Amino acid sequence: MSYPNGKLSEEKVFKDPVHRYIHVRDKLIWDLIGTPEFQRLRRIRQLGTTYLTFHGAEHSRFNHSLGVYEIIRRIIDDVFYERPQWDQNERLLSLCAALLHDLGHGPFSHAFEKVFHLDHEEFTRAIILGNTGINKVLLQMGADFPKKVAEVIAKTYENKLVVSLISSQIDADRMDYLQRDAYFTGVSYGHFDMERILRVMRPREDQVVIKKSGMHAVEDYIMSRYQMYWQVYFHPVSRSAEVILTKILHRAKHLYKDGYLFKTEPKHFYSLYNDQITVEDYLKLDESIILYYFQAWMEEEDTVLSDLCHRFVDRNLFQYVEFNPHLQMQQWLELIQLFKKAGIDPDYYLVLDSSSDLPYDFYRPGEEEERLPIHLQMPNGELRELSRESEIVEAISGKRRTDHKLYFPQDIIEDFSSKRKVKEQILEILKKPY
Amino acid sequence: MSYPNGKLSEEKVFKDPVHRYIHVRDKLIWDLIGTPEFQRLRRIRQLGTTYLTFHGAEHSRFNHSLGVYEIIRRIIDDVFYERPQWDQNERLLSLCAALLHDLGHGPFSHAFEKVFHLDHEEFTRAIILGNTGINKVLLQMGADFPKKVAEVIAKTYENKLVVSLISSQIDADRMDYLQRDAYFTGVSYGHFDMERILRVMRPREDQVVIKKSGMHAVEDYIMSRYQMYWQVYFHPVSRSAEVILTKILHRAKHLYKDGYLFKTEPKHFYSLYNDQITVEDYLKLDESIILYYFQAWMEEEDTVLSDLCHRFVDRNLFQYVEFNPHLQMQQWLELIQLFKKAGIDPDYYLVLDSSSDLPYDFYRPGEEEERLPIHLQMPNGELRELSRESEIVEAISGKRRTDHKLYFPQDIIEDFSSKRKVKEQILEILKKPY
Amino acid sequence: MSYPNGKLSEEKVFKDPVHRYIHVRDKLIWDLIGTPEFQRLRRIRQLGTTYLTFHGAEHSRFNHSLGVYEIIRRIIDDVFYERPQWDQNERLLSLCAALLHDLGHGPFSHAFEKVFHLDHEEFTRAIILGNTGINKVLLQMGADFPKKVAEVIAKTYENKLVVSLISSQIDADRMDYLQRDAYFTGVSYGHFDMERILRVMRPREDQVVIKKSGMHAVEDYIMSRYQMYWQVYFHPVSRSAEVILTKILHRAKHLYKDGYLFKTEPKHFYSLYNDQITVEDYLKLDESIILYYFQAWMEEEDTVLSDLCHRFVDRNLFQYVEFNPHLQMQQWLELIQLFKKAGIDPDYYLVLDSSSDLPYDFYRPGEEEERLPIHLQMPNGELRELSRESEIVEAISGKRRTDHKLYFPQDIIEDFSSKRKVKEQILEILKKPY
Amino acid sequence: MSYPNGKLSEEKVFKDPVHRYIHVRDKLIWDLIGTPEFQRLRRIRQLGTTYLTFHGAEHSRFNHSLGVYEIIRRIIDDVFYERPQWDQNERLLSLCAALLHDLGHGPFSHAFEKVFHLDHEEFTRAIILGNTGINKVLLQMGADFPKKVAEVIAKTYENKLVVSLISSQIDADRMDYLQRDAYFTGVSYGHFDMERILRVMRPREDQVVIKKSGMHAVEDYIMSRYQMYWQVYFHPVSRSAEVILTKILHRAKHLYKDGYLFKTEPKHFYSLYNDQITVEDYLKLDESIILYYFQAWMEEEDTVLSDLCHRFVDRNLFQYVEFNPHLQMQQWLELIQLFKKAGIDPDYYLVLDSSSDLPYDFYRPGEEEERLPIHLQMPNGELRELSRESEIVEAISGKRRTDHKLYFPQDIIEDFSSKRKVKEQILEILKKPY
């Protein structure tokens, strides 16, 4: 150790399929990558259950975190360097925030967070500030350096330019994951001219802006994002897997609280169940651990738990139909009754799931989740909000799209040999979408 | 179920980054993919420990198996179809053998096989012929169908044309993995014109041959293979991870045999340790299970086991130097003594590892591992062995290249505060390669 | 010769950077490609003057024509084949129409057509029906075959399904040129999942429709088209070159009509000047001929002609500013006066140019240029117009975007040493865009 | 103008399909690109007649020249910068030599040079040193700057490191054209990891060397080169077109010397015919001019000239057989007699053509065409010649491969209705290759 600004005697590179090479010259960055907390990201997939739909999507958050770092490094070293609005002292801070922004993700993170009411950003902060390898490395830069890194990630850091570099509607995080997820899934969405976007990024007092001449590349990026959301991230088959995953986690917790005697006890989950999770416990959780339990639980006595684990592990997912809970309340209630009548627990086997996305939004101060709009820098230096210049972006700006699906186990329903009537009634309702 | 030759009502496709789409029209194939034994391949990486060197290489054998199937499907449906030498009745058999050829791979397969003296091909056969989901599906095609599939994979099937389609020096297996591993690692080797090679493949009585006009594409494929072996598959950093993995498996077995009391007992390994492994037990092993144990064992009392597990999980690997055991016997013996003097067990911490490849070989009947040579079909119909026509292939044909490395934990050696002299002696020897 | 349905003894392939290979099995197609009229397309660039902006865009219409043929071949042979709505007898007709649809393009075609009031579609028909190599080959298929090919291209053929395959808002022509022009320019727009679109195309009575499940791939295609128009096809620098080209053609014609004595007489243009152009004369025109004249005319006495030719050949183009003729009528008139005062002929040196595109349009019967909308085929077989299902397409549907630019020779204006005041007045106006 | 070291107020970029973007920051480079002599390279194809075989290969030398410049720029600015062995004062000189190294190429250059006994390198020098736009720009850098640029290109410049950057067995010229020609033809050869090679290039006193760790990337480059030579550059169909081209140029000269009265006089060729070619005349020659004449000469009275021109323009090429002039002297003489008997002039219609390549060579001092070998820099700083370290390179090193073909007009021979016997004799010989 011993920095600051220490350089490696020779640059290290990682071969990366998306950015060709990832370049590391700073000893600080190299040491961060070598910590156990950062290496743990190798055991957490970037896209959770998506690999059950797109088999190529087996890449980890380790991959993506390096990618975000590399993009920020290029912006700073190739584009911002020596521009008066950019303070070179923020360089290493920005690189660390980029590299570490996803550190707190748990296994299958969205499902996991929802079930246990966790927030991965809180864990990111806790890992950065706690008694960890990461913290030890960061401290070499000064006593308040870890705190500053955490603030950048939390968007509370005073230099808003640095914050907007890391999180905005066109940040390095999004630019990396769109391209990376497109690459590994193999879909033909997700392409845009990142090199051009990087070249037209300009630092301003409190935000990164885009030169007007790069507007079309940004439009392309926004369309890519839109397509990736609906074609990949919200794919109904991946959501089916996520629904099952969520129900497994719920069931196991329920059984634990209920005093059920597990053959394979959920030791890694105890502190979660008792709301006493520590950073140390949290860091022990990753997807290999989860898959270990799910495979073990396939042999539990509890048929709901074992059935759901079998479904997840062997990829025997739920079917789905479009179903609008607002318009189909009556059918919903009927289905619940019919499932109960058939002896299937609707809490676990009849699941409504909704996805929703806002492809781009202009600034709405005071709203729940404030999103910084993208600003174009006109030739005369003036800034204009993107949707006022781009017809395409204007057309989709601020328009939320939502999709509702109802998930259920078709195979179980079709197996009802003794309850033919209930089966027919259920199938009748499921066949008639609104 | 209920085949044979049953078609799906609509073709299914898998999005694949290498072949764009994988097409499934046969109900048989669809059902095989849906079995738990095939889904298990999602939990076994294609390239074992390589992801610790090339972070993109996180893809699974599931991926690759679909790819091999797709290549064979194209050869049969687009190239061989209606050619007199091709017996269309072998189509489904060939597709099944292609899809299932890797079914018996264990977690981190090469290391695993070596430590436990297993053979993945035997397990492939056992899974196909045993009481499994795979077997049940295959039986729909006839009572002897599973046996025929196993025979094709074992290269004992009577129709040698089918065998050579699945395994030869230019088979679908190799064509898929070269391209796929290149794609996921991101290296620029591994490219060759597969579409051209497929177009010039011709069925003959007992083998697949290549039209002379496609010779250059085949040369390119052989060079790709050569480069992938040395640049990716034998990369010394991946081998370092494999060395550690092997030593962990050895250590745990040794401790078990020794009566050591594990905090986390190696239950999944008992039948392996006692040479009583069954297909059912074997199928429970995958890489998430291995990683579960390795993480748990980081907390064992045994310092060798816990240290090695830490190294693997946190990627703190061994360093290496070139070391030729034949020429450096003396240094080797000295090092062993010095390691013992320093209190480090050379059985676990001083490891010689050799890699060796034969990029292409002509036919050498009776030799240990017979390899079918590649034959070119000349315009007049005559066959000529590739290395007689291609100067480049001739130049490398039959030439085995071997590489020896010595692995050791540099960090431990450099930490010898109390044994400075031993440390210096060790470093002295390690610095002077032959 | 001697067809119909004659097959080549062995399939011929062309290596193509966009579609990998172009496959020809029909003797008819092979012979058409070999005609002088088709080979002439090698001497006409696909993108006219665009190579002066994007230096990679040097590809010819020969390239593109083969590409369109290949796409239609795949649709028919891989997707439509054996579907009841598709009449296999239309196969060769469709392939010929695809291959020949651009046959009548002149050198730098849009500029050329505008100046001489020609219509390339008329020439396509004339070449197909006239005394040409093409006609001779087509006649082998029957006396009325050339006429049918011409009708398909003219969209008057009775089988509207065939017509819509060749020309619609999502036809093979557009799918090829978007991808091809993206490939050769190197821009990152122009990508969409054509393989997916081909797979979801379905023949209906009177049009090709798209299965609903392929809607997102179609959205992506429409966005690609939009971006290519504004980023490549309407690029202001290419338009500057086209403006100069147009003015050269005008000037030479004007001089001819005026009795000017050329050093290099415009022999190839005489019949054009006299409105007596024949198919035979027309076929002698290509871009090497045009460039020959332009280079020769750099040495003419007439300074307008020689200056403009120098500008085109040496790529010394006009500058431009945004200029709205509707809002800036006054400045326009002033500029004309100032140019005259400065002794520069505004007819040749002050040029307004407008570009305009409608990215997608639903059906508007009776309108000037009727465009067939894209129809989605819903799971129940019903058809719905694309913009009613896709929010993104709806957002841009029917919205025409227009861009006005004013072109002028900055270098000449800045050279006004003796007329400093006029120069300042001109620059003043040009600097203040609306 | 007014340099040295003048920078553009804003960096200019060219979109390039091979290197993504080409970056220009130096005013000197920008001005050189804008000269008429450099723009002329847009009218000369990079691969001569290859576009008649690979239709995508329509790219110009303008393209390639920018590419070579960009590679050198990256080496200097990203890799050599601040290394002690590199003299930063050589930067602009190296960039100019890179950009201008192909300036003297004539239309269809190899054929052209052969017929008229020209040397494009001499013309490159003459353009740099003569009264040209290029010279005027270069002079801004100092009175002896043009001379230095010419010396670098001629390999006589005193700083051999600069020379080896521009011309060696692994120089920017080769790296660009292999990738570029692969891209435009669409073949899958020509790929290698240039980015890696650039990263391991190191400046030494008198040459560029390659770090040992990059050896495999260099092997891959050498194999790419080998494949491109035999698959693309020496493709027998392109050679057929070149044979015809050569014969046209010979015929026209012969007719001129003979006093033949041309309908279209070869004015552009007069000074060539009379061995009085000047730089000014030479610069007027490009491929549009050549194609103008060839099209015009299709209507000459002389049937040899008009037939050959028709063949070239309409791509009706000669057929070929393998033919070894050393082993088949007798057949050769017989064929000449038979052609004469049949009334076909063997000087124009029976052409032997040989191609030959040496994929890599170690250093052979004093030999005709000295080639600098590639040196690897070992970890200890020592240099070793590539073929001593790489088995693959050793295998092909110094081995020249030659290919002989005999070209003839099959269509004419098959048309011999009145001379059936001569025809049969000719076909008999042509069918029996050695």
Q: For residue range D221-237, what is the model confidence (pLDDT) as tens digits?
A: 998 998 899 889 999 99
Is D191 close to B193, i.e. CB distance below 8 A?
Answer: no
Chains that touch C (3 or more CB pairs under 8 A): A, B, D
Identify the band that residue B49 occupies on the pLDDT scale cut at 50, 70 and 90.
very high
Q: In this complex, is the C-beta atom of B287 within 8 Å of any C-beta atom belonging to chain A? A: yes
Of chain B, the percentage scoring pLDDT greater than 70 comes to 96
Q: A385-422, pLDDT tens digit by residue?
A: 999 998 888 878 887 888 899 999 999 988 876 778 88
Report CB contact under 8 Å: A391, C396: yes
8 A C-beta contact, residue D328 and residue D434: yes
**CA dist., res. A201 & res. C165, Å (int):** 43
Q: How far, in whole angstroms, is CA D146 from its chain's centroid?
A: 23
**Helical (H) or strand (E) element with B12:** strand B7-16
Asked if the C-beta of B193 comes within 8 angstroms of chain D's C-beta atoms, the answer is yes
Query: Which of B21, B195, B199 is the closest to C195 by Cβ?
Result: B21
The answer, yes or no, to whether the previous bond of A146 is cis (omega within 30 of 0) is no
Tokens read off for B264: 């986390």
d(CA B256, CA B305): 12
- The rounded mean pLDDT for chain D is 92
B289 close to A (CB below 8 A): yes
Nearest chain B Cα distance for residue A59, angstroms:
6
Is C81 in CB contact (< 8 Å) with chain B?
A: no
Sketch out chain C's domains with CATH numbers: 7-233 (1.10.3210.10), 236-355+404-431 (1.20.1250.30), 359-397 (no CATH)
| Calpha distance C74→C78 (Å, rounded) | 5
Q: Rounded to whole angstroms, how far apart are CA atoms A351 and A346? A: 8
Size of interface A-D (CB pairs under 8 A): 8
Q: How far is B201 from chain C (nearest CA, A)?
A: 14
Beta bridge partners of B404: B354
What would the mean pLDDT of B236-252 be, rounded to a whole number?
96
In contact, C185 and C50? CB cutoff 8 Å: yes
Strands C383-385, C401-408: parallel, antiparallel or unpaired by DSSP?
Answer: unpaired
- Provide the edge-to-edge strand list for the sheet that holds D351-357: D319-322, D401-408, D351-357
What average pLDDT does range A10-34 have in this prediction?
95
Q: How many CB pairs under 8 A join A and C?
A: 52
Maximum Cα–Cα distance for chain C, whole Å?
Answer: 78
Instruction: Kindly state the average pLDDT of the residues A84-88.
Output: 92
Q: Indicate which of A12, A16, A21, A82 best probes the interface with D, i.e. most D CBs within 10 Å of its own CB.
A: A21
**Contact check, Cβ <8 Å, D186/C17:** yes
The CA distance from C283 to C43, in Å, is: 11
Q: Does B358 touch chain D (CB under 8 A)?
A: no
Mean pLDDT of A329-350: 93
Residue D362 has pLDDT above 70, yes or no: no
State how far the alpha carbon of B121 is from the alpha carbons of B61, B106, B110, B113, C92, in Å: 14, 10, 12, 11, 50
What value does the mean pLDDT of chain B take?
Answer: 92
pLDDT value of position C434? 46
Per-residue model confidence (pLDDT) at position C282: 96
Task: Give the number of other CB atoms < 10 A from CB of residue A120.
Answer: 18
**Tens digit of pLDDT per residue, chain C (434 long)?**
677 778 898 889 999 999 999 999 999 999 999 999 999 999 999 999 999 999 999 999 999 999 999 999 999 999 998 888 999 999 999 999 999 999 999 999 888 999 999 999 999 999 999 999 999 999 999 999 999 999 999 999 999 999 999 999 999 999 999 999 999 999 988 889 999 999 999 999 899 999 998 999 999 999 899 889 988 999 999 999 999 999 999 999 999 999 999 999 999 999 999 999 999 999 999 999 999 999 999 999 999 999 999 999 999 999 999 888 888 889 999 999 999 999 999 999 999 999 887 777 765 555 555 577 899 999 889 999 999 998 888 878 887 888 899 999 999 988 877 778 888 888 888 876 54
Tens-digit pLDDT profile for residues D161-200: 999 999 999 999 999 999 999 999 999 888 899 999 999 9
The answer to whether C69 faces chain D, any CB pair under 8 Å, is: no
> Of C170, C169, C211, C176, whose CA–CA distance to C190 is shortest?
C176
The 3 state secondary structure assigned to chain C is: CCCCCCEEEEEEEEEECCCEEEEEEEHHHHHHHCCHHHHHHHHCECCHHHHHCCCCCCCEHHHHHHHHHHHHHHHHHHHHCCCCCCCHHHHHHHHHHHHHCCCCCCCCHHHHHHHHCCCHHHHHHHHHHCCCHHHHHHHCCCCCHHHHHHHHHHCCCCCHHHHHHHCCCCCHHHHHHHHHHHHHHCCCCCCCCHHHHHHHEEECCCCEEEEHHHHHHHHHHHHHHHHHHHHHHCCHHHHHHHHHHHHHHHHHHHHHHCCCCCCCCCHHHHHHHCCCCCHHHHHCCCHHHHHHHHHHHCCCCCHHHHHHHHHHHCCCCCEEEECCCCCCHHHHHHHHHHHHHCCCCHHHHCEEEEEEECCCCCCCCCCCCCCCCCEEECCCCCEEEHHHHCHHHHHHCCCCEEEEEEEECHHHHHCCCCCHHHHHHHHHHHHCCC
Determine how β-strand D319-322 pairs with β-strand D351-357: unpaired
Identity (one letter) of the amino acid at D58? E
The answer to whether B220 contacts D395, with C-beta atoms less than 8 Å apart, is no
Query: What stretch of H or E contains B123?
Result: helix B120-129
Closest residue, chain C, to D264 (C-alpha): C267
| Helix ranges restricted to H, D258-316 | 270-273, 279-283, 287-297, 303-313
Residue A357 vs residue B14, higher pLDDT: B14
Assess C312–D contact: CB distance below 8 Å, yes or no. no
Tell how strand D375-377 and strand D383-385 pair up.
antiparallel
**CB spacing of B284 vs A295 below 8 angstroms:** yes
In single-letter form, the type of residue at position D126 comes to A
Give CA–CA dist D134/D146, Å, rounded.
9
Option in D13, D21, D195 nearest A20 (CB): D195
pLDDT of residue B88: 92
Mean pLDDT of D107-135: 94
Cβ-nearest to C220 among A189, A396, A399: A189
Q: Which member of B189, B220, B231 has the closest CB to residue D227?
A: B220
CA nearest A12 in D: which residue?
Answer: D199
D237 close contact with C: CB closer than 8 A: no
In this complex, the residue of A220, A391, A396 whose CB is nearest that of residue C227 is: A220
ipTM, 2 dp? 0.94
Look at residues A345, A113, A55 and name the one whose alpha carbon lies nearest to residue A245: A113
Residue B35: its pLDDT value, please? Answer: 98
* Shortest Cα–Cα distance, A195 to chain D (Å): 9
- Tell me which residue in C193, C231, C396 faces A188 most closely, judged by beta carbons: C193
State the Cα–Cα distance between residues D133 and D139, nearest whole angstrom: 10
Q: Decide: A416 and A362 in contact? Cβ < 8 Å.
A: no
**DSSP-derived 3-state class of residue A184:** helix
pLDDT for res C367: 53
- D36 pLDDT above the threshold of 70: yes
C428: contact with B, CB 8 A cutoff: no
- Please give the structure tokens belonging to residue C185: 């320019």
DSSP string, D170-213: T-HHHHHHHHHHHHHH--S-S---HHHHHHHEEE-SSSEEEEGG
Q: Measured between alpha carbons, how far is residue B118 from residues B57, B65, B111, B149 in Å?
A: 25, 21, 10, 21
**CB-neighbour burial class of residue A124 (10 A; exposed 0-12, middle 13-18, buried 19+):** buried
pLDDT value, residue B416? 76
Q: What is the pLDDT of residue B70?
A: 98
Closest partner residue to D227 among B187, B216, B396, by Cβ? Answer: B216
Chain B with chain C: Cβ pairs closer than 8 A:
8
Nearest by CB to residue A21, choosing from D20, D21, D195, is: D195
Q: Hey, is the C-beta of C191 within 8 angstroms of any chain A C-beta?
A: yes
Which residue of chain B has the CA closest to C23? B199
3-state secondary structure of B319: strand
Alpha carbon distance B200, B214 (integer Å): 6
The answer to whether the beta carbons of residues B283 and B41 sit under 8 Å apart is no
D220 touches chain B (CB under 8 A): yes
* Among the listed residues B258, B338, B346, B341, the one whose alpha carbon sits nearest the alpha carbon of residue B302: B258
Q: Using CA of residue D238, residue D239, residue D244, residue D246, what is the dihedral sign?
A: positive
For A317-336, write each residue's pLDDT tens digit. Answer: 999 998 888 888 899 999 99
Contacts of D227 in chain B (CB under 8 A): 216, 219-220
Residue B21 contacts C, CB cutoff 8 Å: yes
What average pLDDT does the segment A62-77 reach?
Answer: 97
Chain D CB contacts of B230 under 8 Å are 216
For B314, other C-beta atoms within 10 Å of its C-beta total 17
What is the rounded distance in angstroms from the CA atom of residue C242 to the CA atom of residue C248? 10
Inter-chain CB proximity D60 and C55 less than 8 Å: yes
Measured at the alpha carbon of residue C233, what is the angle toward residues C228 and C234, in degrees to the nearest 5?
110
Residue among B14, B284, B295 whose CB faces A284 most closely: B295
- A14: nearest CA partner in chain D: D196
**A199–D13 CB contact, under 8 Å:** yes
By residue count, chain A amounts to 434
Give A22's strand partners. A14
Q: Which of A36, A55, A59 sits opposite B66 (nearest CB)?
A: A55
Within an 8 Å CB–CB cutoff, is residue B83 touching chain C? Answer: no
| Cβ-Cβ contacts under 8 Å, D20 against chain A | 195
pLDDT for position D422: 87
Per-residue pLDDT of D394-409, as tens digits, reads 878 887 888 899 999 9
Contacts of A190 in chain B (CB under 8 A): none
Chain B environment of D233 (Cβ under 8 Å): none
Chain D residues in contact with B322 by the CB 8 A cut-off are none
Asked if the model's pLDDT at residue B47 lies above 50, the reply is yes
- Asked if pLDDT for residue B139 goes beyond 70, the answer is yes
Nearest to B216 among D230, D395, D399 (CB): D230
* Crossing angle for the helix pair D236-257 and D109-116, to the nearest 10 degrees: 40
Which chain B residues have a beta carbon less than 8 Å from that of C21? 195, 199
